[in-house]
């Protein structure tokens, strides 16, 4: 048994070894069409150049990446033959940096990245970081374990015309890269059932010492010689015909090894880097001896005791034949043992010219369609203000919401927004956008919400957009003083196409995604600037206590009372109604919570969050002044304590979706992300049209998405019944704590039951719903006030969403984006029912919910 290496790193180190580039120079360089060869860190004005040993042309990487800094290894390590490794690009600033390379869709590519630290920064600390192909992790690069340098190679079929190779910072050290190379392959070669192929090695059986690379190998694979003189005999010939697309070099084919024991097997053993890897083997055979007529060379290939050839191998004379495993194989314990064993009828020993081994690397998550530096995935690197639908990793993510409120945007609204074919929410509020409201917004059929509040828009709203609003589109245009919102403004002038310029002060951007990048950079700068300033500097929102007394007419009309204090009705400037919340001296919440709420509301803007008009911070008097929500809170409306009719099922589902959108914004749109921590029905306020907005942010906390900071340890706070049991037990807060509370709220909306009711057999509402479902008496779940006027399927789907949110294990809860997608399906079913039955009160007066799912009682939190 002959071992060819102790680990696969051994091969990569040999490949990377500086002494190993003794490649025989060919006079005629072969065609490099399709090659992309980047010398990372090379200044743009120094490229291109031709590396003398391989005759490969290297380019600067500057046109393929935004960001990073150029580094150079010390002069004593530089030489002309090692020029590609003299420079490097390193990334001290951002967590994730991506090369964006244009490729051919569906083409098979060899992708190779090389890393040589060389103590370029004088710190003598070899870095460790992760490398990604698009949204999927490829490999951890640990140059502490590979101090001589590291090379990683993969064969990957591109599913887009844009390929991203990303370096991700995972610790205190700085990611860096020396070279990045792409080589197009024949599309009928190196095909895996699933996933991509990670190189283990290319070997050719020869007593030579030379590495074989381009131009000897047309695909620029690197072949390492392997020979065991004590066990093998080397045979060779002058030339071999190569007629298949794998096209190994002539130097591989014209030499071979046979066992010295002519009756024994030719055995090769190697160890996998990861014992659980599945592998593909590619073996290249050519008969290079002129054998006698009465001789036969025939043998089987056996891997770890399993014959992996259907028929015995009989190599053709001076002609290449490539045998490959079409189904990936496993090696027990990561030890692979391949044997070529001659058959009983064979008179000659087996031979092998060369072979290659690849491991399967699953890269399941598709990247977002047509993007540059994927904005949606991986989820932990989701771009600021963006939300994407990532429900199925086999389907490309879709950008579904864009929050650019208060981002300092100016100019007119760019037409490239319509390229976001799945966009549902577009929030451009509180900017300085000018010009007319563009008509193309009406043609974006996926849009559900457009918020243009607080800009400098003028003219009239297009008739087509008003028609969409009547069909259910939510259009917000308040605060544009030159914009006419009356239907009498509509005229034929609106049919003109509006000239469109970019919304950010950046010249000529062709693609919407590039624009989004620039806007988000601007937004981050503004955000970081605001963090460095004292919060109290926003004087224009500050009121004195005497002004508060004037606004509330000496606290004449109380609206309600909460943990913070009493809320009073008020009038600002005699016209604008407001709600004024005064901090009580006996309040369980104090100045810390007051300050936290002001800080949050001064920097967030969303149509489903109650907006802050101003505040009072004067000695012993603290007050928050909000927009007035005339229909009170959701709890009052469900209980029948607020004047008006019973909330119908469609309105309830709308309220749930709008509340979910507000939470989604806190979790994704805010930077840093926020957890509300006290999400409940009394904190869902309703305006005159019963549109829902989340209020009371005194207990909210920020957290950082991704890494070890996705959870924050805090003192437990919240309301009994809505409180996440996992958070209660561990004190570890995450956005999933809000999702639990949302599940409880949704059960409250559906059932109109108290969240905790000691008179029930099961006091906790989630436990009670499970109990009722198991008994089969599902009609008792629905709020009797609805009198059966609802679509059973939509309600059942909403119930399933609620129970998944209320799972006691946070890992099993959906995220807010998934909740919204499911909930919209419920609303669509309910709206379809209403549309079908416009002239009748109800056709479902006594329909019982049909159980379509099984709930485990152990899934749900117990009452405390």
Q: Helix or strand or coil: residue 283?
A: strand
Residue range 426-454: average pLDDT?
89
pLDDT of residue 15: 35
Q: Pick the residue with more confidence: 817 or 745?
A: 745
Q: Which residues contact 412 (CB under 8 A, 6 or more apart)?
A: 433, 434, 435, 436, 438, 498, 499, 500, 501, 503
Q: Helix or strand or coil: residue 447?
A: coil
pLDDT of residue 497: 39
136 token code pair? 């999927």
pLDDT of residue 779: 72
Contact call for residues 754 and 747 (beta carbons, < 8 A): no
Q: Is the pLDDT of residue 129 over 60?
A: yes
Q: Provide the angle, in degrees to the nearest 10, between the axes of the packed helices 649-664 and 816-836.
A: 160
pLDDT of residue 853: 32
Banded model confidence at residue 719, pLDDT cuts 50, 70, 90: confident
Q: Is the pLDDT of residue 101 over 80?
A: yes
C-alpha 277/C-alpha 334 separation (Å) is 7
pLDDT of residue 486: 61
373 token code pair? 């530096």
Cα angle: 732, vertex 666, 391; to 5 degrees: 85
45 token code pair? 């004005």
207-246: pLDDT as tens digits: 998 999 999 999 999 999 999 999 999 999 988 988 789 9
How many beta carbons lie within 10 A of that of residue 847, not counting itself?
A: 16
121-135, 515-529, 557-571, 731-745: the lowest-pLDDT one: 515-529
For 286-427, strand residue ranges (E) read 299-303, 306-307, 321-324, 329-330, 335-342, 354-361, 386-389, 398-403, 410-411, 425-427
pLDDT of residue 817: 87
Q: Is the pLDDT of residue 11 over 50?
A: no
349 token code pair? 């020993």
Contact call for residues 300 and 340 (beta carbons, < 8 A): yes
Contact call for residues 44 and 62 (beta carbons, < 8 A): yes
Q: How far is CA 719 from the centre of its chain?
A: 32
153-157, 316-320, 705-709, 776-780: the lowest-pLDDT one: 705-709
Q: Is the pLDDT of residue 294 over 60?
A: yes
pLDDT of residue 189: 93
Q: What is the DSSP string of 665-729?
A: IIIIISSSEEE-S---GGGEEE-TT--EEE---TT-EEE-SSGGGSSEE----S-TTTS-HHHHH
Highest mean pLDDT among 374-388, 561-575, 641-655, 805-819: 805-819
pLDDT of residue 590: 62
Banded model confidence at residue 487, pLDDT cuts 50, 70, 90: low
Q: Burial letters for 692-723: b for 16+ Cβ neighbours within 10 Å, e otherwise? A: bbbbbbbbbbebebeeeeebeebeebbbebbb
Give me the phi and psi of 410, to 5 degrees please: -140, 175
306 token code pair? 């399993």
242 token code pair? 């190569």
Residue range 834-860: average pLDDT?
42
298 token code pair? 């025939």
Q: For the range 66-72, what are the long-range contacts, defined as Cβ-Cβ under 8 Å and sequence gap of 24 or more? A: 66/373, 66/517, 67/91, 67/93, 67/94, 67/97, 68/97, 70/41, 70/42, 70/43, 71/41, 71/120, 71/121, 71/176, 72/41, 72/120
Q: Is the pLDDT of residue 776 over 50?
A: yes
Contact call for residues 283 and 205 (beta carbons, < 8 A): no
Going from the C-alpha of 407 to that of each of 341, 431, 522, 527, the distances in angstroms are: 70, 6, 7, 9
Q: Which fold has domain 200-361?
A: Jelly Rolls (2.60.120)
DSSP 843: S
Equal fold, 200-361 vs 538-627: no
pLDDT of residue 755: 93
Contact call for residues 2 and 231 (beta carbons, < 8 A): yes
668-714: pLDDT as tens digits: 888 778 899 899 999 999 998 899 999 988 778 876 554 444 566 56
678 given a catalytic annotation:
yes
For the chain, give every domain's residue range.
31-185, 200-361, 385-528, 538-627, 634-859
134 token code pair? 């698009």
Q: Which fold has domain 385-528?
A: 3.80.10
Upper half-sphere CA count for residue 38 (Cβ side, 13 Å): 25
pLDDT of residue 746: 96
106-120, 267-281, 755-769: the lowest-pLDDT one: 755-769
pLDDT of residue 521: 41
649-658: pLDDT as tens digits: 989 999 999 9
Catalytic residue, candidates 217, 384, 678, 783: 678
Strand partners, 614: 625
Q: Which fold has domain 634-859?
A: Transferase(Phosphotransferase); domain 1 (1.10.510)
820-833: pLDDT as tens digits: 888 888 888 778 77
Block residue for tokens 């559900």: 448
Q: Which residues contact 574 (CB under 8 A, 6 or more apart)?
A: none
Q: Pick the residue with more confidence: 594 or 346?
A: 346
Give me the phi and psi of 763, to 5 degrees please: -60, -40
528 token code pair? 């970081």
Q: Pick the residue with more confidence: 702 or 647?
A: 647
pLDDT of residue 256: 96
pLDDT of residue 38: 95
C-alpha 780/C-alpha 768 separation (Å) is 11
65-69, 348-352, 704-708: the lowest-pLDDT one: 704-708
Q: Pick the residue with more confidence: 2 or 218?
A: 218
pLDDT of residue 711: 60
Cα angle: 104, vertex 328, 138; to 5 degrees: 50
pLDDT of residue 842: 40
Q: Is the pLDDT of residue 432 over 50?
A: yes
Strand partners, 164: 100
Q: Pick the residue with more confidence: 601 or 653?
A: 653
pLDDT of residue 574: 76
Select the CATH number that applies to the domain covering 31-185 from these four: 2.60.120.430, 3.40.50.970, 2.160.10.10, 3.30.230.10.
2.60.120.430
Highest mean pLDDT among 462-466, 668-672, 794-798: 462-466
pLDDT of residue 686: 93
Say if residue 581 carries a ligand binding annotation.
yes
pLDDT of residue 9: 35
Residue range 787-791: average pLDDT?
86
How many beta carbons lie within 10 A of that of residue 132, not counting itself?
A: 21
Whole-number average pLDDT of the chain:
80
Q: Pick the residue with more confidence: 493 or 185?
A: 185
pLDDT of residue 18: 30
Highest mean pLDDT among 456-465, 531-540, 581-590: 456-465
Q: Pick the residue with more confidence: 498 or 331?
A: 331
pLDDT of residue 622: 86
Q: Helix or strand or coil: residue 313?
A: strand
Among candidates 825, 823, 818, which has minimal Cα distance to 750? 823
Q: CB burial class (10 A; 0-12, 13-18, 19+) of residue 634? A: buried
Domain 538-627, CATH: 3.30.200.20
Q: For the range 543-547, what are the long-range contacts, defined as Cβ-Cβ under 8 Å and sequence gap of 24 or more? A: 543/614, 543/615, 543/616, 543/623, 543/625, 544/616, 544/618, 545/616, 545/618, 545/619, 545/621, 545/623, 547/616
pLDDT of residue 714: 67
Q: Quote the percentage of the chain above a pLDDT of 70.
A: 78
């Amino acid at each position: 048994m002959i071992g060819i290496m102790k680990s696969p790193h051994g091969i990569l180190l040999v490949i990377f070894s500086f002494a190993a580039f003794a490649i025989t120079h060919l006079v005629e360089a072969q065609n490099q069409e399709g090659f992309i060869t980047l010398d990372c860190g090379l200044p743009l004005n120094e490229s291109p150049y031709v590396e003398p040993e391989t005759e490969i042309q290297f380019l600067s990487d500057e046109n393929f990446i935004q960001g990073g800094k150029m580094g150079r290894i010390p002069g004593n390590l530089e030489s002309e033959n090692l020029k590609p490794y003299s420079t490097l690009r390193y990334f001290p600033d951002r967590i994730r940096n991506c090369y964006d390379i244009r490729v051919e869709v569906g083409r098979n590519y060899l992708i190779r990245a090389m890393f040589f630290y060389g103590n370029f920064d004088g710190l003598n600390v070899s870095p460790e970081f992760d490398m990604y192909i698009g949204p999927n992790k490829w490999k951890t690069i640990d140059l502490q374990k590979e101090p001589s340098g590291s090379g990683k190679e993969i064969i990957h079929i591109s599913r887009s015309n844009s390929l991203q190779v990303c370096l991700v910072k995972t610790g205190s050290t700085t990611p860096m890269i020396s070279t990045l190379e792409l080589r197009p392959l024949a599309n009928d070669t190196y095909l895996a059932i699933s996933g991509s192929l990670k190189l283990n090695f290319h070997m050719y059986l020869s007593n030579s010492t030379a590495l074989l690379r381009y131009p000897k190998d047309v695909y620029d694979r690197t072949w390492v010689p392997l020979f065991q003189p004590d066990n093998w005999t080397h045979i060779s010939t002058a030339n071999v015909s190569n007629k298949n697309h794998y096209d190994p070099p002539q130097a591989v084919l014209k030499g071979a090894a046979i066992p010295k024991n002519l009756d024994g097997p030719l055995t090769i053993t190697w160890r996998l880097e990861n014992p659980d890897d599945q592998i593909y083997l590619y073996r290249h055979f050519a008969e290079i001896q002129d054998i006698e007529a009465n001789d036969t060379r025939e043998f089987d290939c056996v891997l770890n005791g399993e014959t992996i050839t259907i028929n015995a191998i009989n190599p053709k004379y001076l002609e290449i034949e490539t045998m490959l495993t079409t189904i990936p194989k496993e090696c027990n314990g990561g030890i692979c043992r391949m044997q070529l064993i001659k058959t009983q009828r064979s008179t000659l020993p087996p031979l092998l010219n060369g072979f290659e081994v690849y491991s399967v690397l699953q890269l399941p998550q598709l990247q977002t369609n047509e993007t540059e530096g994927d904005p949606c995935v991986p989820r932990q690197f989701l771009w600021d203000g963006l939300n994407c639908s990532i429900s199925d990793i086999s389907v490309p993510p879709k950008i579904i919401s864009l929050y650019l409120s208060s981002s300092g945007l100016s100019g007119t609204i760019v037409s490239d927004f319509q390229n976001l074919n799945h966009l549902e929410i577009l929030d451009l509020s509180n900017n300085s956008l000018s010009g007319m409201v563009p008509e193309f917004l009406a043609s974006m059929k996926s849009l559900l919400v457009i918020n243009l509040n607080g800009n400098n828009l003028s003219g009239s709203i297009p008739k087509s957009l008003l028609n969409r609003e009547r069909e259910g589109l939510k259009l917000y245009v308040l605060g544009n003083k030159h914009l006419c919102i009356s239907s009498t403004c509509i005229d034929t002038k609106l049919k003109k196409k509006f000239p469109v310029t970019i919304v950010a002060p950046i010249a000529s951007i062709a693609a919407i995604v590039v624009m989004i990048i620039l806007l988000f950079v601007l937004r981050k700068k503004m955000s970081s600037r605001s963090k460095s300033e004292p919060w109290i500097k926003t004087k224009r929102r500050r009121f004195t206590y005497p002004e508060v007394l004037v606004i509330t007419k000496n606290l004449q009309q109380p609206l309600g009372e909460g943990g913070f204090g009493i809320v009073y009705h008020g009038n600002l400037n005699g016209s604008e109604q407001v709600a004024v919340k005064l901090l009580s001296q006996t309040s369980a919440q104090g100045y810390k919570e007051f300050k936290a709420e002001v800080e949050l509301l001064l920097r967030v803007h969303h149509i489903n969050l109650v907006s802050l008009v101003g505040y009072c911070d004067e000695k012993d008097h603290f007050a928050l002044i909000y927009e007035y929500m005339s229909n009170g809170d959701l709890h009052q409306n469900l209980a029948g304590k607020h004047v008006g009719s019973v909330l119908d099922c469609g309105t309830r589902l709308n309220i749930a979706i709008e509340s979910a959108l507000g939470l989604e914004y806190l979790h994704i749109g805010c930077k840093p992300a926020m957890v509300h921590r006290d999400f409940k029905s009394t904190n869902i306020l309703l305006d005159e049209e019963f549109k829902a907005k989340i209020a009371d942010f005194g207990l909210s906390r920020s957290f950082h998405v991704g890494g070890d900071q996705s959870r924050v340890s805090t003192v437990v706070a919240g309301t009994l019944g809505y409180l996440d049991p996992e958070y209660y037990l561990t004190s570890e807060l995450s956005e999933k704590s809000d999702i639990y509370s949302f599940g409880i709220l949704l059960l409250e909306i559906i059932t109109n039951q108290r969240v905790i009711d000691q008179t029930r057999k099961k006091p906790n509402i989630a436990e009670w719903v499970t109990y009722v479902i198991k008994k089969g008496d599902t009609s008792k779940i629905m709020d009797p006030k609805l009198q059966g006027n609802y679509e059973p399927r939509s309600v059942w789907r909403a119930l399933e969403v609620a129970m998944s949110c209320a799972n006691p294990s946070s890992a099993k809860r959906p995220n807010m984006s998934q909740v919204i997608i499911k909930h919209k399906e419920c609303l669509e079913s309910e709206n379809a029912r209403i549309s079908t039955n416009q002239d009748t009160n109800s056709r479902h007066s006594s329909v019982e919910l049909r159980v379509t799912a099984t709930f485990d009682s152990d899934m749900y939190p117990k009452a405390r």
